[in-house]
Structure 1
Amino acid sequence: MNATGAIGIFDSGVGGTSIFKEIHQSLPLESCIYLADSINAPYGQKSKEEIIRLSKKNTELLIKMGCKIIVVACNTATTNAITELRESFNTPIIGIEPAIKPAALSSQKKIIGILATKGTLSSELFSKTSELYTQDVEVIEVIGKGLVEAIEAGKEYHTETKKLLRSLLAPMLAKEIDYLVLGCSHYPYLIPLLQEILPPEVKIIDSGQAVAQQTKNILATYRALVSKPQNAPKFYTNKDVQLLRHFVPNPEFEVSYLDF
C-alpha cells in the first residue's frame, strides 16, 4: 500500500460528505478524494445488480486515482455490493451499515426506529445484522422515501422536508422509540429537523464516527498513516458542482465536475 495515497470515498451523491467530515476530523493529515455519483442518486431505488455495477465503477475510478483505501460512504452500496467489491479489488474496502447494534444494546424501552432507504432495508446484509442484535427489540423500520432527493436538491432545511419527515416518523413516535438509527449517509444533514420533531429523550445515532475509526485502524494495520500533511481534499461530482460545494464550503477544498 502506498502510504501517501489518498483515502477514496464514494456515495450516491452528496450525503457521504457527512462521512468525509468524520474521517477528516479523525485523520486531518490524510488526503481524501470524494466521488459524488449524484447523477445516479438515489441508489436506494435501484436493483442490486445496478448498485453493484455503479459501486464497482466508482471504486475502480478511485483506485486509478491512486487511492490506498476505499470507503463506501453509502449504506445501500455497502449492504448490496460490499462482498462483490472485496472480491473484485485488492485494495482495502470499508463499508457503512446502520448502527443497529449500539441502538439495540443501549435501548431501555427495547423499541428502536430505523430510517433508511428501500435498498438498505431490503438487503440481505441488513437482515442478517438486524436478526443478530434485535431478537428482544421491537424495530420500527421506515423507508425514507423522498429524503435523499430533498437533500440532493439542497432542501435539507425546507418546510416541505420537515413536513415529509414528520409524516415518516409518525409510526416511530406512536411507538415511543428511544433510539433512532440513521441508515443513510445523507440523513445526518437532517438532524436539526429531527431534533425539532422528536422528543428530547430520543437519541439519534449514525455510523460516521465508527467508519472514521475503522479507517484509522485499517491504515494503522498497514502502517499507511501519514506523518505530514498531504494534498487538500478533492471532491468530484457528475452533476451539480454548486450543490456539492454547499455541503463542503471550505474554500481550501477543491470541488470539480467530472464525467464518470
Structure 2
Amino acid sequence: MNNLDPIGFFDSGIGGTSIWKEVISLLPHENSIYLADSKNAPYGEKPIEEIIALSNKNTDKLLEMGCKMVVVACNTATTNAIKVLRSSYTIPFIGIEPAIKPAALNSKTKSIGILATKGTLSSKLFHKTSELYSGEITITEVVGNGLVTLIEQGKQDSEEIKYLLIKLLQPMIDAKIDYLVLGCSHYPYLLTVLKRILPDNVQIIDSGEAVARQTKKVLEDLHLLNTSSAKGSHKLFSNSNPEVLRKLLDTAGNCLIEHLDF
C-alpha cells in the first residue's frame, strides 16, 4: 500500500458516484476505481447475508486492483456489512450512513423525514443512530421502493419517478418535516424532482460532503494522501450497462468507463 495507489469505491450500482464526486472534488490528486454492482441492484431488498457476501466480493475485486482504501458508497452495505468488512480486512474502510444527527439538531419543527432502502432502515446500525434522537424529534421513515431500479435505468427525471416520489413523500409532508435525510447514495440524483415536490422550507441533506471529509482525514492520519501534483485518473466499471454511468458522468474528465464482470 502506498500513497499513489487508488481509492476504491463500490455501490449497488451507479448511485455511489454521488459520493465519488464529492471525494474526488475534495481530493483532486487521488486516483480512484469505482465498481457499480448494478447486476445485483438494489441491495436494499436483499437479506443481510447476501449483502455481506456482495460487499466481500466487491472488496476482494478492489484489493485485486491495488486499492489502498475502500469507500463503501452504499448506505445498505455500510449499515449491514461494514463491521464484518473491518474485521476481515486490514485496509481502512469509509462508510456512509444517513445524516440523522445534523437534521435532528437543526430541525425547528422537531420533525424530520428519512428516505432510505428497506435494508438500511431495518439495520442495527441505523436503529442505534435513530434511537439517539427519536426522543427529541419525530422521525418519519419511508422505504423508497422502486427508486433505485428507476435510477439504474436512467429515469431519474421521468414522470414515473415524479409520481412515485409524490406518493412516497406525502406522509413526510403531512408530518410537517423541515429536513429530509437521503439515506441512499442513489437519491442525490433525485434532488431536482424532490425540490419541486417538497415545501420550500424543507432542507435536503445527504452524507456526501461528510464522507469526503472523513476520507481525507483517514488518508492524512495514515500518511496515505497522494502527494503527486498531477490530476487523479479514474476508472469506473459496471457489471451491467456502462452507458448509464457514461450519461451520468459525461462532464467528468480523466475517466475510463467500461463494462467489467465481477
CA contact (8 A) 2:3 2:227 kept: no
Q: Distance in 1 between matches of 2:253 and 2:112?
A: 39
- Runs of 4+ aligned residues of structure 1 deviating over 3 Å after TM superposition are none
Q: Distance in 1 between matches of 2:133 and 2:214?
A: 20
Q: Distance in 2 between matches of 1:171 and 1:231?
A: 43
Q: Distance in 1 between matches of 2:121 and 2:232?
A: 37
Unaligned runs of at least 5 residues, structure 2: none
Residue-pair matches, total: 260
- Secondary structure in 2 matching 1:24: helix
Deviations 1:46-103 (A, max 9, x none): 0000000000000111011111110000000000000000011000001000000110
**1:146-185 equivalent positions in 2, closer than 5 A:** 146-185=146-185
Q: Distance in 2 between matches of 1:144 and 1:134?
A: 21
Deviations 1:143-179 (A, max 9, x none): 0000000100000000110010000000001111000
1:243 aligns with 2:244: yes
Q: Distance in 2 between matches of 1:231 and 1:103?
A: 33
**1:1-260 equivalent positions in 2, closer than 5 A:** 1-228=1-228, 229=230, 231-249=232-250, 250-260=252-262
Deviations 1:212-250 (A, max 9, x none): 000000000011111222651100000001011112113
> What is the aligned-residue identity percentage?
58
Deviations 1:17-51 (A, max 9, x none): 00000001000000010000000000000000000
Deviations 1:171-220 (A, max 9, x none): 00111100000000000000000000011110000000000000000000
Q: Distance in 1 between matches of 2:59 and 2:226?
A: 22
CA contact (8 A) 2:112 2:138 kept: yes
CA contact (8 A) 1:4 1:230 kept: no
The 3 A distance-change label for structure 1 pair 215 and 251 is closer
Q: Distance in 2 between matches of 1:20 and 1:59?
A: 16
Residue identity matched to 2:101: K
TM-score relative to the length of structure 2: 0.98
- Secondary structure in 2 matching 1:140: strand
Residue identity matched to 1:5: D
CA contact (8 A) 2:19 2:208 kept: yes
Q: Distance in 1 between matches of 2:2 and 2:253?
A: 28
Residue identity matched to 2:212: A
Q: Distance in 1 between matches of 2:203 and 2:76?
A: 23
TM-score relative to the length of structure 1: 0.98
Q: Distance in 2 between matches of 1:236 and 1:205?
A: 27
CA contact (8 A) 1:99 1:181 kept: yes
Residue identity matched to 1:223: H
- Secondary structure in 2 matching 1:227: coil
Q: Distance in 2 between matches of 1:82 and 1:227?
A: 28
1:133 Cα deviation from its structure 2 partner: 2.4
1:251 Cα deviation from its structure 2 partner: 5.0
Q: Give the root-mean-square deviation of aligned CA atoms.
A: 0.9
